[in-house]
Structure 1
Amino acid sequence: MQRILIVEDERDITDLIGFNLERAGYSVLKAHDGITGASMAIHEQPDLVVLDLMLPGKDGYAVFKEIRRDARSRDIPVIMLTARAQTEDRIQGLEAGADDYLTKPFSPKELMLRVQAVLKRSDGTPGAVTVQHGPFKFNKNDLKFYLDGEPVDLTSTEFKLLLYLTERAGKAQDRNDLLRTVWGYSDDVHSRTLDTHMKRLRQKLGTHADRVETVRGIGYRVTPTENV
């Protein structure tokens, strides 16, 4: 049974999320302040964290940074949950490296779909254990990525996005197809999500950032082997 940690100070919202998660077959952990939430994420190592940003003791961004700094929890996927509906807040959450972002008020059904999508893409990918493409090397079993032989920390979403493009190197991938495959939804509202993750991914690729090309009017592609 997969375990999900809810870090939310409003107990009625915590109970609502917890009820729907348990009904869907998940085991639920709860924390009502940032300090407790960060500690539980690191020591309990849940399969996913639903993290509110407006928390007592330590805000959600500080909790998220602490989770990502610790080797025991850095690979745990995080869905940020907040009453802030401004685009800038949503982009800040995604740029920080969150796997997804949901604003209040939200539909419990939508949250469940987001949870399922994030957990699905954080699972190991079946098939060949490793994929090698020029300077890129992927280990699907442990979701590790290597650039020129050196490990690079990617979130589960970044890993799946880059792997999907790499396995189809040389062919432009439509934006909507990427959103549907990696995030589980496809519409203009979420297109900024893709661009934000691509920006972070290119930053992590450093001098190899140009290996991921923007194809105007279509989407993105990874350059073919002969160009790598």
Structure 2
Amino acid sequence: MRLLLVEDSVALAEEVQAGLIRQGYAVDWLADGRDAAFQGAVEPYDLIVLDLGLPGRSGLDVLREWRSQSLLTPVLVLTARDGWAERIDGLKAGADDYLTKPFHPEELFLRIQALLRRSRGLANQPSLRVAGLSLDEARQCVQQGDAIIELTAAEFRLLRYFMLHPGQILSKTHLGEHLYDGESERDSNVIEVHVNHLRKKLGRDIIETRRGQGYRFGTSV
């Protein structure tokens, strides 16, 4: 899952970005509202974390512009402790959730996880459960029947994306856009390698290859 973090505090942004990367997310970081307005509208992010107090343009203006352009990407806004009016304005402008500074990183990670599930219609599930698999996002492993199957970091990122999009045909290009940040080189052959590794661990039928189209997860089991 690829996230955009928009935060002008370097220390906070570096801490949050590092934590999100450990959680298996690809993260792009911007510190200016003008840059965020453009990049958030043109890049295929799965979720955006947006501070409202930004240089260049306020986060609230950026959020209003995104929603006026029919951008449906979930947005979690960050506000100051006493910024109750900002929270209300942010929700009115189209924010999906908010978090007040200072915050514990674990709360941010859980809110992001919940927003991503909610956006895929999986809000009531305590864990991701698809095609006989239960994904443990904290331990980055998967349970299949009684077996606990360990995953590499890359396998975990790919499987989580598949499980959030069951039954959908996903091209290698699409997967690359959502599994890597904007600075990473995207190699479709690497994705194919990770797909084959998941098949060896979970069964060949769990990921269907659609020739000339991409992959479809969870429809054959």
TM-score when scaled to structure 2? Answer: 0.53
For residues 63 and 84 of structure 1, the distance between their equivalents in structure 2, rounded to whole angstroms, comes to 21
- Percent identity over the alignment is 48
Contact residue 4 and residue 40 of structure 2 kept, 8 A: yes
Q: Match for 1:106: what amino acid?
A: F
Map Cα deviations across residues 101-151 of structure 1 (whole Å, 9 max, x no partner): 0111000000001100111100156xxxxxxxxxxxxxxx9xxxxxxxxxx
Q: Match for 2:51: what amino acid?
A: D
Q: Match for 1:32: what amino acid?
A: A
1:85 partnered with 2:98? no
Q: Match for 1:95: what amino acid?
A: K
1:119 partnered with 2:112? no
1:103 partnered with 2:100? yes
Please name the residue that 1:57 is paired with: 56
For residues 38 and 67 of structure 2, the distance between their equivalents in structure 1, rounded to whole angstroms, comes to 12
Q: 1:143-158 residue pairs with structure 2 within 5 A?
A: none
Tell me how far 1:85 sits from its aligned partner.
Answer: 2.6
Tell me how far 1:64 sits from its aligned partner.
Answer: 0.3
Q: Match for 1:56: what amino acid?
A: P
RMSD between superposed Cα atoms in Å: 1.8
Q: Match for 2:74: what amino acid?
A: P
Please name the residue that 2:138 is paired with: none
Q: SS in structure 1 opposite 2:95?
A: coil
Contact residue 13 and residue 29 of structure 2 kept, 8 A: yes
1:19 partnered with 2:22? no
Please name the residue that 1:32 is paired with: 31
Please name the residue that 1:66 is paired with: 65
Please name the residue that 2:204 is paired with: none
**Where in structure 1 do 4 or more consecutive aligned residues deviate above 3 Å?**
none
Q: SS in structure 1 opposite 2:72?
A: coil
For residues 123 and 89 of structure 1, the distance between their equivalents in structure 2, rounded to whole angstroms, comes to 27
For residues 113 and 72 of structure 2, the distance between their equivalents in structure 1, rounded to whole angstroms, comes to 17
Q: SS in structure 2 opposite 1:19?
A: helix
Please name the residue that 1:41 is paired with: 40
For residues 87 and 62 of structure 1, the distance between their equivalents in structure 2, rounded to whole angstroms, comes to 17
- Tell me: higher relative CO, structure 1 or 2? Use CA pairs within 8 A at least 6 residues apart: 2
Q: SS in structure 2 opposite 1:121?
A: helix
Q: Match for 1:91: what amino acid?
A: I
TM-score when scaled to structure 1? Answer: 0.51
Aligned residues: 124
For residues 107 and 96 of structure 2, the distance between their equivalents in structure 1, rounded to whole angstroms, comes to 15
Q: Match for 1:110: what amino acid?
A: E
For residues 18 and 43 of structure 2, the distance between their equivalents in structure 1, rounded to whole angstroms, comes to 20
Which 5+ residue runs of structure 1 have no aligned equivalent?
A: 126-140, 142-228
For residues 85 and 3 of structure 1, the distance between their equivalents in structure 2, rounded to whole angstroms, comes to 30
Which 5+ residue runs of structure 2 have no aligned equivalent?
A: 123-164, 166-221
For residues 87 and 105 of structure 2, the distance between their equivalents in structure 1, rounded to whole angstroms, comes to 19
For residues 51 and 65 of structure 1, the distance between their equivalents in structure 2, rounded to whole angstroms, comes to 12
Tell me how far 1:90 sits from its aligned partner.
Answer: 1.7
For residues 14 and 83 of structure 2, the distance between their equivalents in structure 1, rounded to whole angstroms, comes to 26
Q: Match for 2:45: what amino acid?
A: P
